[in-house]
Structure 1
Amino acid sequence: MKVLVVGGGGREHTLVWKISQSPLVDKVYCAPGNGGIAKLAECIDIKAMDFENLVKFAEENKIDLTVIGPDDPLAAGIVDVFEARGLRVFGPGKDAAMIEGSKVFSKNLMKKYGIPTAAYEVFDNSKEAVEYLRNVSYPAVVKAEGLALGKGVIIARNYDEAVQAVKEIMDDKVFGQAGNRVVIEEFLAGQEVSILAFTDGTTVVPMVSAQDHKRAYDHDQGLNTGGMGTFSPSRIYTPEIAAYCMENIFKPTVQAMNQEGRKFKGILYFGLILTKDGPKVLEYNARFGDPETQVVLPRLKSDLVEIFNAVIDERLSEVKVEWEDNAAVCVVMASGGYPQKYYTGYPIEGIEDAELIEGVTVFHAGTKLIDGKIVTAGGRVLGVTAIGSNLDEAIKTAYEGVSKISFKDMHYRKDIGIK
């Protein structure tokens, strides 16, 4: 088989790495890819939103399977474009990807079908939103409706911060058109857990649990980022909680999408919060999370490509999805200043040394290969991932890997996995 992976971040590097281990696969391409992906796949200089050239490439090179990584192309309907040309593609269609593309749609879906989530109101007018904020309890959550690279959620500690959030999202359009509407939600207290699941629209197969560290600095300080590190499994997601979520959240969500005529086939990501009143949904994603993928897929024992094929053909119930009994930790090494202003183009040293440590794999997120040298090319640069027999061992090994790597102004959290 020839496989094309669309995207160029840490999630796509992990996908390429796992797909290339499948005995079903002869050749992997990645568009546009990055400096690390180039070692495993042939990188093609086509952007993830350039649907016409991606389809043309898939047709001309007789690609057997295309796997879509990022959210933007899914929300814009890349799967429908590929399918209309008779091409085999993994991911939800545009109508199903709406579950991530519109927070208003997903909140209304949960309300309609009784799926546990935070109380909320929707506003398309900043004056009305600001007026409403006078009467809510704090902290409160202000969310841009659309896709905002994981940064469109602001937890406001008081009225002034909430008003500032509404102004930035709706009036200043810091997230562009994603801020045409806002969702204002009650703040839920508890620990967050990420559960990714394979689904063919009927069967739901949850993956092993993961927890993400969103804030830029240690002890959950600083701004929200796309994720500064992850670990799997969660220490708090028990078999009892998993059983509750399966019956009250996972299956009902897939059934609700079917009821709405939006059959979901692909990866459904459940961002959960474990409150004193039980698990609730904070958000849905319509694809693999980043950097959750970097700790979940290394623990997968089964053939990923076989699972993808079963999802596309709606026979997921026939496939046995098995996991290793171990743990994984990913520490994100970022550019100084991320998630705000940062500089790129700095040479990176020590990646090979890190990968000499048993259990360590370095997934590239924002890198480029220039004249045979890996340089920084994004906010999140590398995801140093380690496998261990338990979380403590994986944490220790991951930071050993981190200690071997250096680039100018690098920044990483020192407390990944310690929640």
Structure 2
Amino acid sequence: MANICVCARWRPSNLKEGGEALCIARSDSQSFTLEDEKDEKYMFSFDKVFYEDSEQADVYEFLARPIVRDAVKAINGTIIVYGQTGAGKTYTMEGANIRETDSCKKGLLPRVVDELFEAINLHGEASTYKIKLSMVEIYMERVRDLLDLSKDNILIKEHKGHGILLCGVTEILISDGEEALKFLYNGIANRAVGETQMNMASSRSHCIYIFTIQKELTNEKRVGTGKLVLVDLAGSEKVEKTGAEGRVLEEAKTINKSLSALGNVINALTSGQQGRANHIPFRDSKLTRILQDSLGGSSQTALLCCCSPCRCNFSESLSTLRFGARAKHIKASSRTDMKEEMHDKKQETSSSANDMKLKIVDLRERILKKLREKLDAETLKLIREEFALDGFSCEEVNLSHEEVAVISSQGAEAETHESMENHHSPFQCGIEISSYTIFFIA
């Protein structure tokens, strides 16, 4: 296991900050000193420091490119951009515009798209690829689909084999870079933004871009899946600086609450005692729940801390950098996700089992319908009494205002399992009573 990659980026001073004193003193490409108005100094070291004169390409080459290339090899990766509002997070992620043609102004997203399709084209005919794109935002603690606005409260679930999943999220198959940028442009246009005193178009939500790269090795008959997640976090805010009121103020409270939950997760991940299990509060917010796999999970993760160089934003920059310094101690692991194709024996068994489940559900409905039509109330009473004597319990199910007895017992599960193994008839077993057969359905 390796530590996650953490970098810092200092944006240039803007027009509102013109003439403001700077709070940063350069040391080298990995360290610097932060200085407050009282000349108190704080030293920080990261994997890489991008100063005001750094280029967008520099950030991509060091921070993102290795993760993107590994995603093509079926290794999950996550890139998170963090910092106060107005610190340059969205510019770093999107650039001046997602469709920007000037290579100097391109952000991480368009460069990721270019890299993905370039890497795929280099692999030739030995393997085939499919790339799917999803976009969601976490707005007021609701997960909204930016590619389908009718899905405004997506559920987050955890799957043992696949990790954290967004149930029903739109996944669009993209065939080239131009098509991908078109969907990204449309999705970004749906994102919640608002004006504050610090930012004309402040992000009011956390935005998450998900690229799923499926790689099929033709000769080896294996399929690998790599997930690349890019996270543009909404900025932390101080109300006295942003002048937030009404709806914007409520948004700010929710943003700060979720960022606090993220900070708590970072603290829990880095403060546990060696050899002892430590509770990690991933479920405290939608943001931390979605990032569960990325933070100390099965993913390569990179964090970029964006900061303002001016002393008027010293306290926010210090908080951001302390967050990054803490995150630097998180251990991240990665693994290649390669699986046999569906005709593999295990996959065939799983597929066959699912088909059998569907058939049994249909069979159960037909049986209950026949019972409802043929059994009168007195017969049902006799069945319940007979099974009660033998230690079985009966659960009554109301169908069309008539009672149908569905018989269950503690031994049914074991008998079902034995039937599945010995008789190759999974999920069901039967008991005959007179001319009727009651089925146990697993």
TM-score band w.r.t. shorter chain: under 0.3
TM normalised by structure 2 equals 0.25
TM-score (norm 1): 0.26
Larger radius of gyration: 2
Q: Which has the higher contact order (CA 8 A, sep 6+)?
A: 2
